Structure 1
Amino acid sequence: MSTEHDWITTPVTADLLRGFLDVEETAHGLLPHRLPAWARRQIPDSQLALAEAQPSGVRLAFRTRATVIELDTLPTKRAYRGLPAPADGVYDLLVDGRLAGQATVAGGNVNVIDMATQSVEPREGAPGTARFSGLPAGDKGVEIWLPHTEITELIALRTDAPVEPAPDGGRKRWLHHGSSISHGSNATHPTAIWPALAASQGAAELVNLGFGGGALLDPFTARAMRDTPADLISLKIGINVVNTDAMRLRAFTPAVHGFLDTIREGHPTTPLLVVSPILCPVQEDTPGPLAPDFSSGTLTFKATGDPDERAAGRLTLNVIRDALARIVEERATDDPHLHHLDGRDLYGEADHAELPLPDGVHPCPAGHRRIAENFARLAFGPGGPFAVQNG
């Protein structure tokens, strides 16, 4: 930590945070969560437990005249056995909505994941500091977006001028649920994940429940969304159900109905957009489960199911797209605020030809931008399901 300033230390409390559903007090500080404690007790696997604690879309938001800001954190990073260590997660600092600085925190804890067995080996590390300097003088709105793939315990916030929680800006609150693509896989920094980009373009306040590997129509996720205030809701459903081979068509259809029924208990007239999967050639017509493939020297994925079993109800992306379109069409007769969007309108064949999926499943950084641009146009733009609500 630098000593060149007269520092003001501000406790990191929930009123400084946005984009979270719960906070946990730890031995080090405050840990944001994207599922409430009661839901976390129902999580059946370590992958979702890790994903919901990774603060995708979570940010500190405050007003200050500070020109230097330091944030002490203890990150918990993710590494894959047999692969090079990933780069440190990025902290994005925005001033009045514009990216004005980036920082990383070295060290911290590391969870080493074995992709073949999904076992996790934890390794302990030390806290560090994300430092931002040279910020413009004068009163300003500041946001610090936390690394979207690093669990981040918030320890201390130091500034060279007082801070106060940012006031409500009057933006519509957009509650989004999806898979690792919504979580931000392959995006290089937290404001570059497609939901964050789309929220910025749509002038919406994002709450991102995109969970890597965890969009499986879990009832506790539906109940958490039911109980979370929202002006706009979207669900990106399908790819995790296919790539985990979690259910067949007979179970999938009522599971979608049940998920929607639960959300509607808390949000009976909120615009609700159901989005089917983006194009993913390895899973278009081949069922899961998905398996890691290291044969090229880098991590890619391949589908291992038998396409001939589609007649027996095995799910593929095309089967799911047809099912979601049918479900929304049937329900919309009694629910005029329910809408459907084919994910291939966000990322389809032409997009794949231009911006192929690096690992066969997740978009590249430019792919995130493409998805965000298309979502903003189709959802927030004129005639879109979110347009009237967004003003």
Structure 2
Amino acid sequence: MTAWITTPIERNLLRGALDLERSARGLLPHRLPAWARQQFPDQFLARAEAAPSGVRLAFRTRATAVELDVHPIRTVYRDLPTPADGVYDLHIDGHLAAQTSVPEGDIRTVDMTTLSETLRPGPPGTVRFTGLSAGPKDIEIWLPQNEIVHLLALRTDAPVDAVPDRGRKVWLHHGSSISHGTSADSPSTTWPALAATLGGVELINLGLSGNALLDPFLARVIRDTPADLISVKIGINLVNTDLMRLRAFAPAVHGLLDTIREGHPETPLLLLSPLLCPIQEDTPGPIIVDLDCRPQACFRALGDPTDPTRLTLRVIRDELSRIAEQRAPEDPNLHYLDGRSLYGERDFAELPLPDAVHPDGAAHRRIAEHFAELAFGNGGPFAV
């Protein structure tokens, strides 16, 4: 019979979270601090920031068995395919060693037409990894990137210590659902997580599905968060929500960069434009879900491509390149990278977007490899 040791889950065992909330269901990691969460009423953003993309438990132990009690809340959208249960990735000494899922938890159903929600409560479940080697090792448990997870208890059959600082640089990245990893295979195989591994850095992922929208509070969060490397990927959500017109776009980008520079005046800062997305290269948003697509639902754009005030991906890339060039004389640590160098025409031909917007798992790996080469490689802005 296993002699379990229960270790309190405290901040020193968590990475990638900016805040922790003690709720009725357990300890809830947040990727935005409490003051920022008070500045938006949008439930879509609330769900996105609480979905723990890039958040992982990290500890050192000799344990051969690890259990983590959790209470997940997964979101399903009415009339769309039900997503698979979220995946928990176990890393041992930096390598993916095992994966599992928890079928228990609450189910939140969202009607995309009315935005109404219903919640079906469910019981908590247990993440369980056994048969681990008995020697000392560093363990990371990556939480699912696509569902909210309340943490209840951590049990092991040997004592647990926090992992000491390994001297790695901290990379903070902000982007859309692609950076969030909504369609990735698992939490440690989103493109930012894979790129962080290739670059040998610690990741803080502020990819927020559907919500990379130049919000001022997000700029202040980045400004106030300690980081050695920063990247911001801007564009796709502004186009597919049809949130902003061309007149407002450039000043808003300058405002984002100015605010970040208040807290990080000389930190390498990489401005990333959108990846290739054919349906929005020259057609503005908004986008809608086309339920008649086969074999799965997909997106299509509804905007007027003849309207010169509307944002498209091509317009945004031109503007971001121009802004970076304009600021370069006074900000030598600001860099620009065209997102099509991460996923472009050749990549699309080989690895098309299954729903016309989001890359699949293989494309996430391709994007990570390209980013690691261009950002972390020799001569790159993030070369370590």
Give the TM interval when normalised to the shorter protein: over 0.9
Q: How does 1:61-80 map to 2 (within 5 A)?
A: 61-80=58-77
What does residue 218 of structure 2 align with?
A: 221
Shift of residue 86, structure 1, vs aligned partner:
1.6
- Trace 1:50-69 onto structure 2 (pairs within 5 A): 50-69=47-66
Give the aligned partner of residue 207 of structure 1: 204
Q: Which residue of 2 aligns with 1:154?
A: 151
Of stretches 9-18 and 112-121 in structure 1, the one that deviates more from structure 2 is 112-121
Please state how far the C-alpha of 1:68 moved relative to its aligned partner: 0.3
| Alignment counterpart, residue 195 of structure 1, candidates 192, 196, 202 | 192
AA matched with 2:345: E
SS state at 1:73 partner: strand
**2:26 corresponds to which residue?**
29
- The whole-number CA distance in structure 2 between the counterparts of 1:162 and 1:199 is 28
- Unpaired runs of 5+ residues, structure 2, are none
1:269 is aligned to 266
* Cα displacement (A) at 1:119: 2.9
SS at match of 1:332: helix
After TM superposition, the structure 1 stretch with the greater mean CA deviation from structure 2, 138-147 or 80-89, is: 80-89
For residue 37 of structure 1, what is the amino acid of its counterpart?
A: A
Query: Does residue 376 in structure 1 map to residue 372 in structure 2?
Result: yes
1:15 paired with 2:29, answer: no
1:250 counterpart residue number? 247
Task: Give SS of 1:62's match.
Answer: strand
The residue type equivalent to 1:303 in the other structure is A
SS of 1:370's equivalent in the other structure is helix
Question: Normalized against structure 2, the TM-score is what?
Answer: 0.98
Distance 1:132 1:266 in 2: 41
1:111 aligns with 2:108: yes
Amino acid at match of 2:368: A
1:27-49 C-alpha deviation (Å, 9 max, x unpaired): 23210000000000112311111
1:330 aligns with 2:326: yes
- Once the 2 structures are TM-superposed, how far is the Cα of residue 116 of structure 1 from its aligned partner? 2.7
1:366 to 359, 362, 369: 362
Q: Which residue number corresponds to residue 308 of structure 1?
A: 306
Q: Who is 1:169 aligned against?
A: 166
Q: CA deviation at 1:110?
A: 1.3
Q: Deviations over 1:103-157 (max 9, x none)?
A: 1111201111222333322221110000000111111000000000110100000
Residue 12 (structure 1) shift: 0.9
Aligned to 1:135: 132
Distance 2:122 2:41 in 1: 27
| One-letter amino acid matched to 1:365 | G
| Alpha-carbon distance between aligned partners in 2 of 1:147 and 1:279, rounded to the nearest angstrom | 26
User: 1:48–1:212: 8 Å Cα contact kept in structure 2?
Assistant: yes
Q: Which amino acid aligns with 1:381?
A: G
Q: Is 1:70–1:159's contact at 8 Å kept on the other side of the alignment?
A: yes
User: Which amino acid letter does the alignment assign opposite residue 51 of structure 1?
Assistant: A
SS in 2 for 1:307: coil
2:118 to 104, 118, 121: 121
Alpha-carbon distance between aligned partners in 1 of 2:286 and 2:351, rounded to the nearest angstrom: 25
- Partner residue, 1:91: 88
CA distance in 1, matches of 2:177, 2:49: 11
Q: How many residues align?
A: 383
User: Which 5+ residue runs of structure 1 have no aligned equivalent?
Assistant: none
> Does the CA contact (< 8 Å) of 1:116 and 1:292 recur in 2?
no
Measure how far apart 1:224 and its partner are.
Answer: 0.5
What RMSD in Å do the two structures reach over aligned CA positions?
A: 0.8
DSSP 3-state at the match of 2:158: coil
Match of 1:386 in 2: 382
Letter in 2 for 1:340: Y
Q: How far did residue 83 of structure 1 move?
A: 2.8
Q: Which residue type is aligned with residue 98 of structure 2?
A: G
